[in-house]
Amino acid sequence: MENLGFDWPDGDFAFNYGALEFPASDSPGVGPAAAGANPLAERADPPAEQPDQRTAESTLPLLRLSSWEPNKPYDKNNPECIHYDFRWKVSQCENIRARHVCSDTDLDLVLAPSDFWQVNFQARLEALLKDEQKFPGDKYTCEETIVDISIERSRQRGLKKRFKDMEIDWKMVDSHMESLGGLFSKRRKITFSMEFVFKGVSSDSAMAKGKKKKQSATEAQKLQRAADARVTN
């Protein structure tokens, strides 16, 4: 037999007795195939699901007087509460039709409607009634108040109510406004409108006094005739 030569390592060579490593592609225990064959891999916990965007959507609150900061600049582009525009109108009832007296719009309000009425608009309305150019009569009374809440591109979520005098159900108005926080979070514009219909009472009072005076005179004549009839009999 032929004697094959064999080169022995020299004295500086060192053997590595550690664990053998295989390339990832050649390893039978790594990869999708191995994971399907391994029963422990099937029992591993699945990855956490992402939260539903609809449930995670933020709903902005309605700002109440107790949390309101009058000097704070509330940013509509980065809101922390509901913003809305307030449109108001004052009309005077003449016969059947109502005559427009004045109207205006307050933009970008944040305070709840009932609180805004209390701290701001009620006093403005009372001052307006004292303007003799707009209300030249002696006295006026509010016949009805019309409340209308509208939302941009959403007619079904609006509200329109008529109230006798100024007996406004503010609890209902605030509750409905607060329910629109989700729509405002979607950049839907909210408009809160109020119309006040006033009627003068001076002419009606004079007419009532005239009727009462005429009725009293008629009753006096009847009494006098009855007294004369008793005397003659």
Read off the amino acid at residue 163: F
Contact 143, 92 (CB under 8 A): no
Q: What is the pLDDT of residue 128?
A: 93
**173 vs 139, residue with greater confidence:** 173
Q: Is the residue at 140 inside a domain?
A: yes
How open is the CA angle 154-111-124, to the nearest 5 degrees? 105
Quick one: the chain helix, strand, coil %, rounded to 5? 35, 25, 40
**Per-residue pLDDT tens digits for 145-156:** 999 999 998 877
In this structure, are residues 195 and 91 in contact, taking their beta carbons and an 8 Å threshold?
Answer: yes
Output the six-digit token pair for 89. 């109108």
Q: How confident is the model at residue 59 (pLDDT cuts 50, 70, 90)?
A: confident
d(CA 141, CA 144): 9
Residue with tokens 């225990």: 29
Q: Domain range for residue 175? A: 65-200
Token readout for 40 is: 């422990």
Number of structural domains the chain divides into: 1
Has residue 42 been placed in a domain? no
Angle at 12 between CA 6 and CA 17, to 5 degrees: 80
* Residue 52 is assigned to a structural domain of this protein: no
Residue 148 lies in a domain: yes
Q: Give domain status of residue 16, yes or no.
A: no
Cβ distance 162 to 195 under 8 Å? no
Q: In this structure, is residue 7 part of a structural domain?
A: no
Q: If DSSP codes are grouped into helix, strand and coil, which group holds residue 211?
A: helix
% the chain with pLDDT above 90? 50
DSSP, res 96: T
Within a domain: residue 205? no
pLDDT-derived band at 52, boundaries 50, 70, 90 = very low
Give the model's pLDDT for residue 51.
Answer: 42
What integer pLDDT is reported at residue 58 of this predicted model?
Answer: 73
- 74 pLDDT tier (thresholds 50, 70, 90): very high
Q: Contact, 78 vs 187, CB < 8 A?
A: no
Helix (H, G, I), strand (E, B) or coil at 30: coil
Q: Could you tell me where the DSSP H helices lie in the chain?
A: 32-37, 39-42, 53-56, 113-116, 122-129, 170-178, 181-185, 202-232
Residues 149, 193 contacting (CB under 8 angstroms): yes
- How far is the C-alpha of 43 from the C-alpha of 70, rounded, in Å? 59
90 part of a folded domain: yes
Q: Which of 170, 174, 146, 162 is closest to 84 using CA atoms? A: 174
Which alpha helices (H) appear in 99-201, and where do they start and end? 113-116, 122-129, 170-178, 181-185
Pairing status of strand 190-200 against strand 154-164: unpaired
Cα distances from 192 to residues 7, 52, 120, 189, 204, in angstroms, run 98, 32, 15, 10, 33
What mean pLDDT do residues 88-94 have? 92
